[in-house]
Each structure stands twice: as structure tokens, then as C-alpha cells.
Amino acid sequence: MILSLQGLNITPPFFQNSSIIFHQLYADCPDVLSSSSFNLRIILFENIIVFEVDTSMAKHTKVMRYRIIKPKEDSWDVFGKVLRELQRETRTALNKTIQLCWEWQGFSAEYKEQHGVAPKKKDVLGYTNLQGYAYNRIKDEFNTIGSGNLAQTVKRAADKWNSDVKEILRGDRSIPSFKKDVPIDVVASNVRSIRKEGKDYYLRLSLISKECAKEMGRKDGIFEVLIDVRDKTQRVILDRLIEKEYKLGASQILYHKRKWFINLNYQFEKQEEPLDPNRIMGIDMGIVHPLYIAISDSPARYHIEGGEIERFRRQVERRRKQLLKQGKYCGDGRRGHGRQTRIQPIEVLSEKIANFRKTTNHKYARHVIDLALRHKCGTIQLEDLKGIAKDDAFLKNWTYHDLQEKITYKANEAGIQVIKVQPKYTSQRCSECGHISSENRPSQSEFRCRVCGYEALADYNAARNLATKDIEQIIENSTAKK
Ligand SMILES: [Zn+2]
């Protein structure tokens, strides 16, 4: 189950107060949340919650508003008149489209009552959708507005109708009615060009029909306008649009507080980059967090909140002890079934735990590979479990071996190389300055560097070391010097 969170809308019953999550995440990875945009996902694995802060996947469609300073070749007198007329026609087109939709709704309902089936738009109107029908019906009634922009205006009204119609019929919403301050549509192809002249930016906008242009004694319906560029952000957007790095969407001209503005709608197209073998995902395995993940050149970090397997194991263990206890009394006459009969359920329980671990490991491994692909990591570095010290016997547990095997298998399938790293000093080394000392670990969960003062969760520090290129060689060199 995946919850996508945009803004702060987090659905109960998971959390009463979404700001708690944000505070926690901010404390965990402030650099990520300070960046301009990110996706936040909460993934629920059985009873484990995984937080994901992700800056790579965001799809961007944004709007930037620019004030129109003045038309380049026309006077405000002429241009202002054109805009007001366009606004009047736009409003009429919107309301007429809604009217036609409403009429169709009435006809359709009546027809259904008489014939028992709904009529097909194609048969009656000659169009499969209301938008095409409405455009064709009203297009000749407008003199000023150009055809491309008119089609967009009609589409806007038809989209509004389609999204509201159910509520309108239920009586929960009134029929849309557009007021006189409606924005004027300008489709992307009618923003003919964005031009830079010194520090000034000009837009060439195709706004009126050929007929109207002719009547006005103009050679075409294009108006060039100087726009106000307030700051660097506004400038960068225009530069990227000029360089075709951004794609322009449908824009709108609007009147606000006695001034005219244009809302430019722009989109970033995300490119598929190949996996980068030098971008390394380091995975630390531990008790508190079965997996803690860092990525070499990114502040992104992920972890899986532990306890799932452990809780399940303890639960099963309790049951097993109960059964064994009962087994003690076998043969004393009270039960009379003999020890043999009890062995079977115990074996069943062991199998249950093993199966549970296997499926959990599959989920973890799949999750790890998804993350690696998303971050274009061409390399994953894991601890070489053969090198684990005796006191960390729990890591020798087959569960971790199994998890590593699954990660390795899925990584190879995805074209990601897996490198095993001698883990002897990865938990003692400062991932910030490289200082290695057992004193860097004031407790099992904390890391505090004695030299540079770097502080982090011990698991995260270890993951960062594991996400370092040639870390084994680096550690070998620095320990040899001593
Ligand atoms: Zn340090």
C-alpha cells in the first residue's frame, strides 16, 4: 500500500497529525526537504512504515505569472480594447458551451426515459464529445477570438461540465456560470515566440482572428508585448523556455487589480538517464534497522523500521515454549498422548517463521532495487558477512545471508553491480572526515566523531561509508598507516 502525499494531506488512520511526520522528516534529512520540490511517500509493509523522500521522480508542471508592461507596437488604448473584447467573447463562449452541455443532458435524459437507453452523442450530435460539438456550433458567432484559443476555451468549459455534472444532477452544485473577469486562453502554439532583447523579454502572442486583424488594418493577429521580469526565477524560466529545455503549455491572460498579466504554464520533461556505476548505494544491515541506505552523491536516505521479523519470531517462540512445557508432562498420565504427537506443531512453527522471513526479505529486496533504479545507482555495496566479527553473531544469521542473496539476484537482473565490502571498520569510520576509532561510537545507535565532531545515527554513518567508492581500499590505507 502506497500513500502519495502532496502537501500535507495525510489520510487517517495512519496519523492524526501530519505535521509530526514533517518535523520528524525534517530532522532526519533537512537538505532534501529544503530543496524546491520532492515527493513524499509512506509505504506500509505489513506492520512496518517506510518513509521515502524523493526528489528525483517529481513531475513538474508549473505556472509563472508575468505582468504585461506594454504592447510593443500598439498603444495600450488599442491593445486594452482588444483584450477586453477577447475577455467578453471568452465569457460568452464559456457560458454558451455550458448551455449546450445542459441542453444535451436534458435531451439525453428524456430520450432515455422514452427508449430505455441513453442516446449516443455520435448519432445525435455528430461528435463523440461535447467539446467538438459545442465548438462547431458556436465558432461562427465570434469575431475577435482566434480559432485555436476558442477551441481551448470551449474545452475548458466542457471539462468543467464533465467534472461537475454528477453533482449538478444531484443538486449539490449549481450550473457553472462565468463572470466577466474570466481569463483569456492562449494555447501553446499561439505563444509564437519568447524573445530576449538586452535585459527585456518579449512575447509574441497570436490573439485575434484573421478577419478581425483585417478589419483593424493589421497584417496578422499577433501582438508583441513586453513583460515584467521581477527576479532570477522568472528570468530562468523564460531562458529555459527559449532554449526549449521547458515546454510551454496552455497559458492565460488575466486582468487583476487594473493590470494585465499572463500566466505561462511550463513543463519539465524528465529524461531517462542510464544507471551510473559511480553512483553507489550503500546498505548497512543491523538490528534496529534491518536496512539503512545511503547514496553516494545524494542526501537521500532510506531505512526500514525493524522489528517485524523479530516480533513475529518472539510470538512464535512463546507458542513453542508453551507447547514444549506441555510436552514435559507427557507420559505422566494427565495427557496421555506422548511426546511424539507434539513434535509436529513445533516443526510447523519453525517453518512458519522461515517462510515469513523469506517473504519479508523478498519485499525488502524488491524495495531496495526499486530505490536503486530510481536513483540511477549502477552499484550497490553490501557488507561482506564472512568478515563479520564474532560478537556480531546475529548478522551471521541466515536471514541476512538470504536478504543479501535476494538483493544480489535482483540487482544483477536489473543490471546493477554488487560489491561486497569488508565491514570491519565501516561502523567505526567517520563518513565525514575518515577518522577511524572505536571511540567514535558512544553507544550502539549513535555515532560521534572524536576528531571532527560529525554526529549521526550509527546506521546512517555506516551506510554512508558503504556508499563510498573504493571504501575497502580507503580503510585499508588509513589503518595501515597507524
Ligand atoms: Zn570525523
pLDDT tens digits, one per residue of 314-323:
777 777 777 7
On the question of pLDDT at 353 being above 80, the answer is no
- Which pLDDT value is given to residue 337? 52
Q: In this structure, are 174 and 246 located in the same domain?
A: yes
- On whether residue 329 sits in a domain, the answer given is no
- On whether residue 396 sits in a domain, the answer given is yes
Mark whether 459 is an active-site residue: yes
Q: In this structure, are 198 and 290 located in the same domain?
A: no
- On whether residue 309 sits in a domain, the answer given is no
**249 contacts 61 by C-beta, under 8 angstroms:** yes
Lowest mean pLDDT among 77-81, 264-268, 456-460: 264-268
Mark whether 123 is an active-site residue: no
248 alpha carbon – ligand 1 mean position (Å): 47
144-197 pLDDT tens trace: 999 999 999 999 999 999 989 988 998 888 999 999 889 999 999 999 999 999
Q: In this structure, are 55 and 70 located in the same domain?
A: no
455 alpha carbon – ligand 1 mean position (Å): 8
397-446 pLDDT tens trace: 667 888 899 999 999 888 899 999 998 899 999 999 999 999 999 888 89
- On whether residue 310 sits in a domain, the answer given is no
Selecting among 89, 185, 308, 383, the annotated active-site residue is: 383
- Which pLDDT value is given to residue 223? 96
- Which pLDDT value is given to residue 88? 96
d(CA 292, CA 285): 6
- On whether residue 212 sits in a domain, the answer given is yes
Domain C-terminal end among 245, 268, 291: 268
> How many residues does the structure list for the chain?
482
Selecting among 52, 284, 308, 472, the annotated active-site residue is: 284
Residue 387: give its domain's CATH number: 3.30.420
Q: In this structure, are 18 and 69 located in the same domain?
A: no
- Which pLDDT value is given to residue 57? 42
Phi, psi for 276 (deg, rounded to 5): -105, 115
Rounded to the nearest 10 degrees, the angle between the axes of helix 76-115 and helix 130-138 is 130
**100 contacts 160 by C-beta, under 8 angstroms:** no
Residues with CB under 5 A from ligand 1 (ion): 430, 432-433, 435, 449, 451-452, 454
Domain C-terminal end among 59, 88, 103: 59
**Would you place residue 350 in the very low, low, confident or very high pLDDT band (cuts 50, 70, 90)?**
confident
Mark whether 74 is an active-site residue: no
Q: In this structure, are 292 and 202 located in the same domain?
A: no
460 alpha carbon – ligand 1 mean position (Å): 14
Q: In this structure, are 468 and 412 located in the same domain?
A: yes
Rounded mean pLDDT, 195-210: 95
- On whether residue 345 sits in a domain, the answer given is no
Domain C-terminal end among 244, 268, 292: 268
393 alpha carbon – ligand 1 mean position (Å): 28
429 alpha carbon – ligand 1 mean position (Å): 8
| Close Cβ partners of 460 (under 8 Å, ≥ 6 residues apart) | 284, 292, 294, 301, 303, 447
Q: In this structure, are 293 and 403 located in the same domain?
A: yes
465 alpha carbon – ligand 1 mean position (Å): 12
Q: How many independent structural domains does the chain possess?
A: 3
Rounded mean pLDDT, 60-78: 91
- Looking at the chain, the whole-number percentage of residues with pLDDT higher than 70 is 78
Average model confidence (pLDDT) for the chain? 82
Domain that holds residue 78: 63-268
Q: In this structure, are 100 and 39 located in the same domain?
A: no
Q: In this structure, are 256 and 204 located in the same domain?
A: yes
Q: In this structure, are 143 and 104 located in the same domain?
A: yes
Burial of 113 (0-12, 13-18, 19+ CB in 10 A): exposed
In a 3-state reduction of DSSP, which class is residue 274? Answer: coil
On the CB side of 456, how many CA atoms lie within 13 Å of its CA? 21
Q: In this structure, are 125 and 9 located in the same domain?
A: no
Q: In this structure, are 54 and 68 located in the same domain?
A: no
On the CB side of 88, how many CA atoms lie within 13 Å of its CA? 10
- On whether residue 118 sits in a domain, the answer given is yes
For CA atoms 425, 427, 429, 433, the dihedral sign is positive
Using a cut of 0.75, tell me whether the model's pTM lies above it. no
- On whether residue 347 sits in a domain, the answer given is no
